[in-house]
A and B are shown apart, each in its own frame.
Chain A
Amino acid sequence: MIAPVIEVENIVTRLGGNTIHDGVSLQVQAGDVVALIGGSGTGKSVLLKEIIGLIRPDAGHVRLFGEDVWAADDEQLMGLRRRFGVLFQDGALFSSLTVEQNVAAPLREHTGLSLNECLELARLKIAMAGLPMTACAKMPSELSGGMRKRAALARALALDPELLFLDEPTSGLDPISARAFDHLIRLLSDNLGLTVFLVTHDLDTLLSMVDQIIVLAHGKVLGQGTVKTIQNIQDPWLEEYFSARVQVTDTNRGQYEEQA
C-alpha cells in the first residue's frame, strides 16, 4: 500500500484556554480530492495551518509525504514546501506585484531559471487557471474576486506541486464562478494527478467535485468517507448541514413569522 500523502495523528490544539482539537487524526491518499467541513469555530482553518506548517499544534504529528512537518529542519521544510501549493481564502496575492510577477515569484525563489523563463512558465499557469493573457500585466487590485482566486490558483500551481491546499476556494464567488472554479480544480487534479485538500462551506462543491469528506466536530473527526457515507452519519449538525437547501417558493414573505 502506498503511504498517504497527508497523515495527521492525534492533533491537540489549545487556543486561549479553549481546546479546539482534541485528538484529530486523518489520512489523505494520493490523487484524492478531500474536503474538510465542520461548523464555525471547529478549527478547520487552524487545522489547515497546522498541516502546512504555519501554526504549531500543542501535541500530535503532521506528516506530509511521510515527513513530519513539525520535526523537520529548515531545509526539509523548504523541500516539503516546494511540493505543495496553497490557495489562501482571499488569494493573498502580493499587492505590489503584477499577476504574472506574483505567479513567477515561487519560480524565482525555488528554481535556477532566468526571469524570462519564469515569466513564460508563469503565463502557462495563468492560462491553465483560465485567465486571459490580458490579466498578466494587471495588478491584483484591478482584478475581480473570481479572477483573483484564479490568479492565486495559478501561483499555487507555479511549482507544479503534487499536493494543493485550498482554503474556502469558492467563498465570495457567485454561483456560476464558483461552479466554474470547482470544475477547473477537478480538471487540473484529474489531469495532473494532484492531491487536493480543501476547507469549504460550499455544499455544491462537496456534491460536485469531492471524492471524500472529513467532518470535524467537537474537537474530533466525526467521520471520513464519500458524500453518501457522511450523509448517513447520525449527527444533528450534519443533518442540518445537508438539509440546508432553500426550497424555492413563490414568495418568501411570512415564512419566518412567529406563530401566534
Chain B
Amino acid sequence: MLEVVGRWTVQHLHQLPALPEMPDGMSVILDGAKLQALDPSGAYKLLTGLREQAGLDAGQITLRNFSPAAQQVFLLVVNNLPRMQVLPETAGLGFLAKTGHASQTAFNHVRGFTGFVGQLAIEAWRLTRRPGAFRLKEFVAQLEAIFVYAIPISAAMIFLLGVVFAYLLGVQAEKFGANIFVVDGVSAAVLRELSPVIIAILIAGRTGAAITAQLGTMKVNEEIDALSVLGLSPVAVLVIPRILALVVALPLLVFIGDVAGILGGMLVAKTQLGLEFSQFWERLDSIMKMKTVLVGMGKAPVFAIFIGLIACRMGMTVARDARSVGLHTTSTVVQSIVAVIVLNAIFAVAFTELGI
C-alpha cells in the first residue's frame, strides 16, 4: 500500500519525491487521504512512475480514499494511456535519400521558375493585345513605393561610397601628384559598377522582400484565389505591374546614384586634394564617355527583371502559414542578391570580350 501525499500538479511536478523501491508484479493500493491536489500531469507521473518502478499496469492499481474529483482525473488519464502507446516513427533519412530529396526540391524549383516565366510571357503577350487591361493604377502605386521612396536612401548610399572611393583613391594619387586622375577613377567606378550593383542589391533587399511578403500574405489570406475566381489573372494584376515598375525604377535610381556618387567624389576632391569643382567638372567632361553611363544604367533593367521574377515567384508559392512567408522572404533576398552579383560578373566578362 502506498500513500499519495501533497500536491501532484504540473507546477509541483519537478519537486515530487521519487517512488519507493517495489518488487515487480505486485498489485498496489493507493491511499489518497492526504492528497491535496491531483491534475492529469500528476496522475500521469504517478502512473508512469509505478509502471517503471514495479511494472504495474493501471489494472493492478486500486484507489482508496481518493476524492471523487481526483478519482475522475485519475481515470481520465488511465483511459488515455493506451492511446499514447503508438508512438510516431522517427526514422531518419539516409544520406542518399536526403541527397535525392534535395535534388528533387532543386529540380522542382527550377521547373516551377521556368513555368512561372512562361506564364508571365503568355500574360504579357495577352496584355499587348489588350493594352486596356494593364493595371495602370497598380503600376503607378508600385512605382511610387519602389522608386520615389527609395530615392533618399539610394542617393545617400552612393554618395557615401563616392566619398570613400575618392578618399582612398586620393591618398594613392597624391603620392604621384596625379590628383586629377581621381576624377577618372571615381567616375568609372561609380558609374560602371558601384551604382548599378549596390542599388540593385539595395532594391533586392528593400523591394524584393516587400513584394514577397505582400504577395505571400495575400496568398495566406486567399486573396490570390479570390482574384482568380473573379476572372482576373493574378499574374496580370499583381506580377506584371510590379516587374514593370522595377524595370522602370531601377535605371532611374542608378542614375540618381551616379549623380550622388560623383557629388561625393567632388566634395572629397575639393577638401582633401584641393581640386576645385570647376577643375573636376572639366576633367569629367573631357574623359567621361556616354557609354560608361549607359553601360551602368543598361545593366539595371536586367537586374530588375531578375529581382522581380524571383520576388513574385517566391511570393506566389508561399504555403498557408506564417513560417513559410518568412522562409520565402529570406529566400527572395538571398536569391536576388546572388543573381545580381552573378549577372554582374557575366556582364563584366562579356563587356570586356566585346570591348565595350
Chain A residue at minimum C-beta to C-beta distance from B82: A127
A105 smallest CB distance to B (angstroms): 14
Chain B nearest Cβ from A188, distance in angstroms? 8
- Residue-by-residue, is A127-142 near B (CB-CB < 8 Å gives 1, otherwise 0)? 1100011101101110
- Give A113-167 interface residues, CB cut-off 8 Å to B: 113, 117, 120-121, 123-125, 127-128, 132-134, 136-137, 139-141, 157, 159-160
A134 to B86, CA, bound (A): 8
A160 engages B10 (CB within 8 Å): yes
Hey, which chain A residues are within 8 Å of B86, CB to CB? Answer: 132-134
Give Cα A111 to B84, complex, Å: 22
Q: B93-101, B181-189, B200-208, B319-327: which lies at the A interface?
A: B319-327
Given A95-B321, A113-B14, 4 additional A-B pairs, CB 8 A: A96-B323, A128-B77, A132-B83, A133-B84
What sequence of 0s and 1s flags, for each residue 48-78 of chain B, a beta carbon within 8 Å of any chain A beta carbon? 1000000000000000000001001101110
Does B88 interact with chain A (Cβ within 8 Å)? yes
- Which stretch from B36-44, B143-151, B259-267, B268-276 is at the chain A interface? B36-44
Chain A residues with CB under 8 Å of B11's CB are: 82, 110-111, 159
Mark each residue of chain B from 25 to 46: 1 if its CB lies under 8 Å from any CB of chain A, else 0: 0000000000000011100100
Is A193 in the interface zone, CB < 8 Å from B?
yes
Q: Which of B1-23 contact A (CB under 8 A)?
A: 9-11, 13-14
25 contacts between A and B (CB under 8 A): A82-B11, A95-B321, A95-B322, A107-B10, A110-B11, A111-B14, A112-B14, A113-B13, A124-B77, A125-B40, A127-B80, A128-B76, A128-B77, A132-B86, A133-B86, A134-B86, A141-B320, A159-B11, A160-B9, A160-B10, A160-B39, A160-B41, A188-B76, A192-B72, A192-B76
CA distance A145 to B6 in the complex (A): 40
Does chain A have a CB within 8 A of B286? no
Give chain A nearest CB distance to B10 CB in angstroms.
5
In the complex, chain B residues whose CB is within 8 Å of the CB of A113: 13-14
A200-239 interface with B by 8 A CB criterion: none
Partner of B84, one of A95, A127, A190, A193: A127
A255 within 8 Å of B (CB atoms):
no
Chain A residues, Cβ within 8 Å of B48:
120
Say yes or no: A96 contacts B322, CB within 8 Å: yes
Are A117 and B13 CB-contacts (below 8 A) given A96-B323, A137-B88?
A: yes
CB distance A191 to B14 under 8 Å?
A: no
In the complex, per-residue mask of A92-118: 1 if CB is within 8 Å of any chain B CB, else 0: 000110000000000100111100010
Known contacts A124-B40, A128-B76: A136-B13 contact under CB 8 Å: no
Q: A124-B41, A127-B84, A160-B40 are in contact. Are A141 and B319 (CB under 8 A)?
A: yes
Distance in Å: Cβ of A119 to nearest Cβ of chain B = 11
State in angstroms the CA–CA spacing of A133 and B14 once bound together: 25
Chain A residues lying within 8 Å of B90, measured Cβ to Cβ, are 137
Chain A residues with CB below 8 A from B75, complex form: 191
Which residue of chain B has the shortest Cβ distance to A95 in the bound complex?
Answer: B321
- Is B87 interfacial (CB-CB < 8 Å)? yes
Given A111-B13, A127-B80, A136:B321 Cβ within 8 A? no
Chain B residues lying within 8 Å of A121, measured Cβ to Cβ, are 10, 41, 44
Please name all residues of chain B whose beta carbon is closer than 8 Å to the beta carbon of A188 when the two chains form the complex: 76
Residues of A within 8 A of B73 (CB): 191-192
Taking CB atoms, residues of chain A closer than 8 Å to B324 are 95, 141
- Interchain CB contact under 8 A, B76 and A191: yes
Q: State the CA gap A78–B40 with chains docked (Å).
A: 21
Docked-complex contact A124 and B322, CB < 8 angstroms: no
Closest to B86 in A: A133
Nearest CB in chain A: distance from B248 CB, A: 36
What separation, in Å, do the CA atoms of A245 and B324 have in the docked complex?
41
Find chain A residues with CB under 8 A from B319 CB.
Answer: 141
Distance between A6 CB and nearest chain B CB, rounded to angstroms: 20
With the chains together, A96 CA to B330 CA distance in Å? 15
In the complex, A111→B88 CA distance in Å? 25
Q: B321 contacts A141, CB within 8 Å?
A: yes
Min Cβ gap B36→A in Å is 14
Docked CA distance A112–B13 (Å) = 8
* CB atoms of A128 and B321 under 8 A apart: no
Within 8 Å CB of B321, what residues of A? 95, 139-141
Which residue of the partner chain A has the closest CB to B68? A193
Return the chain A residue nearest B48 by Cβ. Answer: A120
Residues of A within 8 A of B323 (CB): 95-96
Per the bound structure, the CA–CA distance linking A78 and B41 in Å amounts to 20
B41 touching A133 by the CB < 8 A rule? no
Q: In the complex, what residues of B have CB within 8 A of residue A136's CB?
A: 88
- Which of A82, A140, A188, A191 has its CB near the most chain B CB atoms (within 10 A)? A191
Complex-state Cα separation, A111 to B11, whole angstroms: 6
In the complex, what's the smallest C-beta–C-beta distance from A147 to chain B, in angstroms?
14
Asked if A124 and B39 make an inter-chain contact with CB atoms under 8 angstroms apart, the answer reads no
CB pair A128–B40 under 8 Å, yes or no, is yes
**Chain B residues whose CB sits within 8 angstroms of the CB of A95 once the complex forms:** 321-324
Q: Which residues of B contact A159 (CB under 8 A)?
A: 10-11
Contact of A134 among B9, B40, B85, B88 (CB under 8 A): B88
Closest 10 CB pairs of A and B: A95-B321, A160-B39, A96-B323, A127-B83, A112-B14, A127-B80, A141-B321, A191-B72, A191-B76, A95-B323
Q: For the complex, what is the distance from the CA of A141 to the CA of B69, rounded to whole Å?
A: 37
Asked if residues A133 and B76 are in contact (CB atoms below 8 Å), the reply is no
| Min C-beta distance of A111 to chain B, whole Å | 6
Say whether A133 contacts B88, CB under 8 Å. Answer: yes
Q: How far is the CA of A40 from the CA of B322 in the complex (A)?
A: 28
Check B88–A128 contact: CB distance below 8 A.
no
